Amino acid sequence: MRLLRGEMEAATVYGDDPLEVGRRWLAEGAEYLHVVDLDGAVSGTRVNHDIIARLCGELSLPIEVGGGIRTVERAVELIEQGADRIIFGTVALTEPEIVREACRRLPGRVAVGIDARDGKVAIKGWTETSHADATEFARQCEDAGACRIIYTDISRDGTQEGVNLEYTSALARSIGIPVTASGGVGSLRDIENLRRREDAGIDAVIVGRALYTGAVRLGEAIAAAA
């Protein structure tokens, strides 16, 4: 009997008018919504907190939120507002005890987003590149109790040139928790390629720009991933 769900889930990234955009993806069949607070990620401000709360409360699908989550309190607040899962970024590298504590208080709800440039972890909204190796960092996050790694290859993000299959698969193979691939999906072919790496532990993919440009249609992406 097959025990792992292992189904690919296509999530989407929100753009300018969050609630309207969220409703559009919901209507097109999104299985998850991936919400990034860019202002929060860069400067840690609360400016987007209300709209995020509204998204979590109003849209009838699971939502994961990342960007500028730097305290356990903020993580708890988001889950209480209805977020399905929160994503730690910078703080997972600079203050791992916060991730550990959040995992303890919110089991199954804490993911870590690893954004990498040439295999090195980038932080603070991608404004800085650290010396930390992404795969090693992923292992540490798993040890801290994270339930998932969301791996974005920055050099591919927004390019629609295809995901970094090799590195993402290698990273996924070296840990036991599942990986969401992100960054560079430009066509259904990319999703099909990722689907073939499911056994490595990649069970979800985030599609961003390609959905907004129309290069990929969400309904077709979901079908390609099934």
Partner 1 sequence: MSIAIIDYGMGNLRSVQKGLERVGFEAVVTRDPRSIEAAAGVVLPGVGAFGACMQNLSTYNLIDTVHRVVRSGKPFLGICLGMQLLFEESEEFGPVRGLGILPGKVVRFIDRPELKVPHMGWNAVHKRANPPHLEGVDDGAAVYFVHSYYVVPSDPSLTATTTVHGVEFTSSIYRGNVFASQFHPEKSQSVGLRLLENFGRVVTGRSDARAAGAASC
Question: Angle at Cα 108 formed by Cα 103 and Cα 113, nearest 5°?
Answer: 70
To the nearest whole angstrom, how small is the minimum distance from the Cβ of residue 42 to partner 1?
28
Q: Does 96 bind partner 1 (CB under 8 A)?
A: no
SS3 at position 13: strand
For residue 195, give both structure tokens: 């689907």
Question: By CB under 8 A, is residue 58 in contact with partner 1?
Answer: yes
What residues are paired with 184 via a beta bridge?
none
Minimum CB–partner distance for residue 5 and partner 1 (Å): 5
With beta carbons less than 8 A apart as the criterion, state whether 180 and 194 touch.
no
**One residue of 45, 107, 127, 223 binding partner 1 per CB under 8 A:** 107
Regarding 26 and contact with partner 1 (CB under 8 A), the answer is: yes
**How far is Cα 32 from Cα 100, in angstroms, rounded to an integer?**
25
Cα–Cα distance, 6 to 153 (Å, whole number): 22
User: Shortest Cβ distance from residue 7 to partner 1 (Å)?
Assistant: 7
- Asked if 57 interacts with partner 1 (CB under 8 A), we say yes
Residues that bind partner 1 (CB under 8 A): 1, 3-5, 7, 9, 26, 29-31, 56-62, 80-82, 84, 107-108, 147
